[in-house]
């Protein structure tokens, strides 16, 4: 039976076992809570490259979380935080200083990733570990070293939930300090932690339809990820600037250095930005309170 996080409960724990399944370019696994820190350490040792620490937190403004609040089958509204450009020692320090705390908490997802390999290991709710990699089969020895066997049909806690028998995630509160996961971003701000992405906007203003005219004169932060024709990652670029033109033909953005960049006039990729500091992962520059965010995935021709 799976050794769950302290603040997670499932209706049928007897159905869950330490196993992993390979799906395309990812590995999904049930992993005992006591093994997670060592798994993270081993992942770091395997990646001789600049690393990043990632932390996903349920949006507190939306969920109204308090010490006594329980979220049942929490939704997908998250704020995503990063600490970039870590070496192996620094990444290990993050895991050592925060890992035990995060493993006890039922609300968060955290992990480590590589800037060059683009591989990531994430530990989420109900002890589900996800490893993103282009060569999933190569992790067989890694998983077996932790006593985790391969299966063709992994059963996670999510597969056992229904309206009558839901799962339960709780916020962990330190008995010593009274701190929760929501104190981490501010406490680690000087260490380089920043808000990378707010996955949903909540107030009525944010939900209003965006028009082309509305973009004129506003600051737009753009992220473009390029892929080959067979869906292999090439690179990610980020930039920002003031929208000087927005018509049915194009959106023109004037960057800080005076150069122009044009985008298609498809507003489905654009959303209103929450106030805050947005760090460009490619340059380290911080953009304060942009008005809009645009995210594009582009596939290059063969």
Same domain, residue pair 17 and 115: yes
Q: Which domain holds residue 209?
A: 204-299
Q: Are residues 16 and 142 in the same domain?
A: yes
Does 126 map to a domain? yes
| Same domain, yes or no: 230 and 97 | no
- Each as own residue / partner, the long-range contacts of residues 14-20 (CB below 8 Å, 24 or more positions apart, any chain) are 15/155, 15/160, 16/127, 16/155, 16/156, 16/157, 16/160, 17/155, 18/147, 18/148, 18/149, 19/148, 19/149, 19/150, 19/151, 19/154, 19/155, 20/129, 20/143, 20/148, 20/149, 20/150, 20/151, 20/154
> Do 24 and 163 fall within a single domain?
yes
Specify whether 170 is located in the same domain as 211.
no
pLDDT per residue of the chain (302 residues) written in tens, 0 to 9: 899 999 998 989 899 999 999 987 889 999 999 999 999 999 999 999 999 999 998 876 433 333 333 333 344 467 889 998 899 999 999 999 998 899 999 989 999 999 888 899 999 989 999 999 988 888 999 999 999 999 999 999 888 887 788 888 889 999 889 999 999 998 998 888 888 765 544 444 555 788 999 999 999 999 887 777 777 767 778 889 999 999 999 999 999 889 999 999 888 888 887 766 676 766 667 787 888 988 887 887 76
Measure the CA–CA gap between 123 and 111, rounded to whole angstroms.
6
120, 131 Cβ separation under 8 angstroms: yes
Please indicate, yes or no, whether the overall pTM of this predicted structure exceeds 0.75: no
Whole-angstrom distance, CA of residue 36 vs CA of residue 123: 8
Residue 108 lies in a domain: yes
Assess if residue 127 is contained within a domain.
yes
Neighbour count for residue 172 (Cβ, 10 Å) = 20
Examine the domain organization and report whether 52 and 85 are in the same domain. yes
* CA–CA separation, 162 and 54 (whole Å): 30
Q: How far apart are alpha carbons 243 and 253 in whole angstroms?
A: 4
Contact between residue 120 and residue 134 where contact means Cβ atoms under 8 Å apart? no
Identify any residues that bridge with 53 across adjacent strands, giving them in sequence order.
83, 112
CA–CA gap between residue 144 and residue 43 (Å, rounded): 14
Task: Name the pairing type of β-strands 270-272 and 292-299.
Answer: antiparallel
* Residue 50 falls inside a structural domain: yes
Residue 174 lies in a domain: yes
Task: Round to whole Å and give the CA distance between 118 and 51.
Answer: 9
Domain membership flag for residue 2: no
Q: Same domain for 252 and 182?
A: no
φ, ψ (nearest 5 deg) of residue 139: -90, 10
Picking from 266, 265, 263, the residue whose alpha carbon sits closest to that of residue 241 is 263
Number of domains observed in the structure of the chain:
2
Residues 224 and 109 grouped into a single domain: no
Write out pLDDT tens, residues 8-46: 989 898 999 999 999 878 899 999 999 999 999 999 999
With respect to residue 83, please indicate whether it lies within any of the assigned structural domains.
Answer: yes
Q: Are 212 and 133 within one domain? A: no
Q: Output b/e per residue, 48-65; b: 16+ Cβ within 10 A.
A: eebbbbbbbbbbbeebeb
């Amino acid at each position: 039976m799976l050794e769950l996080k302290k603040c997670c409960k499932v209706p049928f724990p007897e159905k869950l076992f330490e196993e992993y399944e390979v799906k395309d370019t990812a590995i999904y696994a049930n992993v005992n809570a006591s093994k997670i820190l060592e798994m993270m350490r081993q992942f770091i040792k395997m990646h001789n490259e600049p690393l990043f620490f990632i932390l996903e937190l349920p949006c507190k403004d939306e969920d109204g979380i308090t010490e006594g609040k329980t979220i049942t089958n929490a939704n997908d509204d998250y704020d995503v935080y990063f600490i970039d450009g870590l070496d192996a020692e620094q990444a290990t320090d993050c895991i050592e200083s925060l890992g035990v705390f995060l493993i006890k908490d039922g609300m968060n997802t955290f992990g480590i990733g590589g800037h060059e390999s683009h591989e990531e290991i994430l530990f989420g709710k109900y002890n589900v570990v996800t490893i993103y990699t282009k060569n999933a089969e190569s992790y067989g020895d890694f998983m077996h070293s932790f006593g985790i066997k391969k299966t063709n049909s992994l059963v996670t806690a999510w597969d056992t939930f229904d309206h009558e028998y839901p799962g339960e995630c709780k916020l962990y509160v330190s008995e010593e300090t009274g701190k929760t996961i929501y104190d981490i971003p501010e406490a680690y701000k000087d260490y380089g932690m920043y808000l990378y992405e707010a996955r949903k906007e909540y107030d009525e203003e944010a939900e209003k339809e965006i028009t082309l005219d509305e973009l004129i004169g506003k600051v737009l932060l753009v992220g473009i990820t390029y892929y080959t024709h067979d869906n292999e990652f090439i690179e990610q670029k980020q930039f920002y600037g003031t929208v000087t033109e927005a018509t049915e033909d194009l959106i023109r953005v004037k960057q800080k250095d005076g150069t122009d960049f044009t985008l298609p006039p498809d507003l489905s990729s654009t959303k209103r930005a929450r106030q805050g500091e947005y760090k460009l992962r490619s340059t380290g520059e911080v953009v304060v309170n942009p008005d809009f965010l645009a995210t594009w995935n582009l596939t290059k021709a063969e």
